[in-house]
Amino acid sequence: MNILYDPENMPEKTLLSKMEEGAALCAEAEGIPAERVEVSLTFVSGEEIRALNRDYRGVDKVTDVLSFPQYEALAEIPGQGEIPLGDVVICREQAVKQAQELGHSKEREIVYLFIHSICHLLGYDHLEEGERQEMRKREEAVMSKIQLER
């Protein structure tokens, strides 16, 4: 798993390690070799994510994470070479706020948001209750395996 990020705004090494481990588990659960996968990660301010959310989703408010998949369906993923899965944008401010509200560490919240976004890049969604339950089940299984359960 290769996570691309701005070196001037990179995640802490332990955080990056958990993100890589969790994303690799997500990819491998879908039969995708993690060593071929590449994901872009960007941390932004509340103002920046609000603008992105407004421009791309038509929702003019701050959110915690946005996912921009490269592929419409897993069937489009190339059989060879690197797999640029997509882009993940996380608002640290919102993640810290949510961590405080939920009573866990900011590290857990940031990794969870990243795993949540990886699931979106892999085609999962949570618009319908059944989809939401399946996505949460996958997220929590990964968080448990990387020892960041609630």
This model's pTM is above 0.85? yes
Measured in degrees and rounded to the nearest 5, phi and psi for residue 43 equal -100, 135
Say what the pLDDT of residue 38 is: 97
Cβ-contact 25, 70 below 8 angstroms: no
Structure tokens at 52: 């992105």
Amino acid at 4: L
Q: Give me the residue spans of the domains in the chain.
A: 2-145
- Superfamily of chain region 2-145: Metalloproteases ("zincins"), catalytic domain (3.40.390.30)
Q: What is the pLDDT along the chain (150 residues), one digit of tens a residue?
A: 999 999 888 889 999 999 999 999 999 999 999 999 999 999 999 999 999 999 999 999 999 999 999 998 888 998 899 999 999 999 999 999 999 999 999 999 999 999 999 999 999 988 788 888 999 999 999 999 999 987
Say what the pLDDT of residue 147 is: 94
Amino acid at 66: L
